[in-house]
A and B are shown apart, each in its own frame.
Chain A
Amino acid sequence: MSDKMINIEILRYNPESDEKPSYGKFEVPYLEEWSMLDALEYIKDELDSTLAYRWSCRMAVCGSCGMVINGTPKLGCETFLRDYKGTIKVEPLANFPIERDLVVDAEDFINKLESVKPYIINAMEKPVEEGVTKQTPKELSLYKQFSSCINCMLCYSACPQMGINPLFTGPAVIALGHRYNLDTRDDGYDERTEVIQGKNGVWSCTFVGYCSEVCPKNVDPAAAINQNKLQGAQDWALSFLMPRKGGK
């Protein structure tokens, strides 16, 4: 083990014994290549086995280890201890109820995710005999960026609107709905409109843009939201010319 040490302060909360969350301090010896996740594993194995946190892939693919590190929403697995000095403060994702320690209750997020129907809705199922559905690279490039979301919820922690209006659909969910709306194989636009274009959809966003900054996969949810505002404004104007379009 190396002789380099770092102090880590973790916001701890055990609903069975604690009235409110408080910080627990740990002194962790670390190696050059250690991530925050490695440090949490060390703490759980060697210092305090009651520490609770979510993790799985260790390579920024699964989206499980989102946490707030020194005030910034980040993935623990791609945050390296060598980039910090002194004490590092680790907290659970903001704007979510804490379940225990660094584990947050994501149920509300999952409900919102389901409400936007993040899957291909095909109005006309194609018979198998007709062969595969073709999509050009250009058509793919329309939505590819938005399909990279790993549901890590960092954008929900970053978004000030989530704190002010918890009913806001939120960046990741809107970006994923947008991803399927842009897919040429999908016919579900009308089914997603109410969630995306409603008062708690894109119109709750005041374009702070921090969601796109913290996104570990460069999804740019703020762009998805703004593209939907533009689309919504066009639909709005069209609804006067063709009143039946929105009446389904």
Chain B
Amino acid sequence: MSQKRHIEPLLWSLFGAGGTTIAFFFPAMILVVLAVSLGVIPAEALSYERMSGFFLNNLFGQLILLVALVPSYWACIHRIYHGLHDLGFHPGAGLKVLFYGATLVLSVITIILVLF
């Protein structure tokens, strides 16, 4: 049962989580930006002070921002990695470590920047 412990299930779970958050947040963001452009929502609603007050200084907002950002990194890198394979480029173990390692670093940096 040695094969049971390979890392793919973890990467796939993060990919699935990211796919869900992208599908959830991205259309909402398009709607909000469109609404601001059309003047339906006043531009001040998205002012830096207001947004950073919630997303960077309020624990609830910080968690929402992390949920919106971090899983989506993993979804994107997983899609790129497996997409390359589908297109006929077969990234080896070294590139896999580089791809996912960079994503791990990016995730840690994001968490540090948002929380502290």
Task: Name the one of B10, B86, B88, B90 contacting A236, with C-beta atoms under 8 angstroms.
Answer: B10
Query: Are A239 and B5 neighbours in the complex by a CB distance under 8 Å?
Result: yes
Task: Name the one of B10, B16, B86 contacting A206, with C-beta atoms under 8 angstroms.
Answer: B86
Query: Are A235 and B4 neighbours in the complex by a CB distance under 8 Å?
Result: yes
- Asked, given contacts A164-B85, A206-B86, whether A193 binds B6 with beta carbons under 8 Å apart, the answer is no
Does B13 lie at the interface of the complex (its beta carbon under 8 Å from any beta carbon of A)?
yes
- Asked, given contacts A194-B3, A233-B13, A248-B1, whether A199 binds B85 with beta carbons under 8 Å apart, the answer is no
Does A247 lie at the interface of the complex (its beta carbon under 8 Å from any beta carbon of B)?
yes
Cα-based distance from A176 to B78 in the complex (angstroms): 27
- Asked, given contacts A232-B9, A233-B10, A236-B9, whether A246 binds B4 with beta carbons under 8 Å apart, the answer is yes
Cα-based distance from A233 to B7 in the complex (angstroms): 10
Distance (whole angstroms) from the CB of B99 to the closest CB of chain A: 15
- Asked, given contacts A164-B85, A206-B85, A208-B86, whether A229 binds B12 with beta carbons under 8 Å apart, the answer is yes
Output the residue of B4, B88, B90 with the most chain A CB within 10 A: B4
Which B residues lie within 8 Å of A237 (CB)? 9, 13
Which B residues lie within 8 Å of A233 (CB)? 9-10, 12-13, 16
- Asked, given contacts A233-B10, A236-B9, whether A197 binds B86 with beta carbons under 8 Å apart, the answer is no
- Binary interface encoding of chain B residues 1-32 relative to chain A, with 1 for a CB under 8 A from any of its CBs, else 0: 10111101110110010000000000000000
Cα-based distance from A18 to B82 in the complex (angstroms): 38
Cα-based distance from A230 to B9 in the complex (angstroms): 8
Cα-based distance from A235 to B10 in the complex (angstroms): 11
Which B residues lie within 8 Å of A239 (CB)? 4-5
- Binary interface encoding of chain A residues 184-197 relative to chain B, with 1 for a CB under 8 A from any of its CBs, else 0: 00000000011001
Does A80 lie at the interface of the complex (its beta carbon under 8 Å from any beta carbon of B)?
no
Distance (whole angstroms) from the CB of B7 to the closest CB of chain A: 9
CB closest chain-B residue, reference A165 = B85
Distance (whole angstroms) from the CB of B71 to the closest CB of chain A: 14
Which B residues lie within 8 Å of A229 (CB)? 9, 12, 16
The 3 residue pairs across chains A and B that have the minimum distance between CB atoms: A236-B9, A203-B8, A198-B3
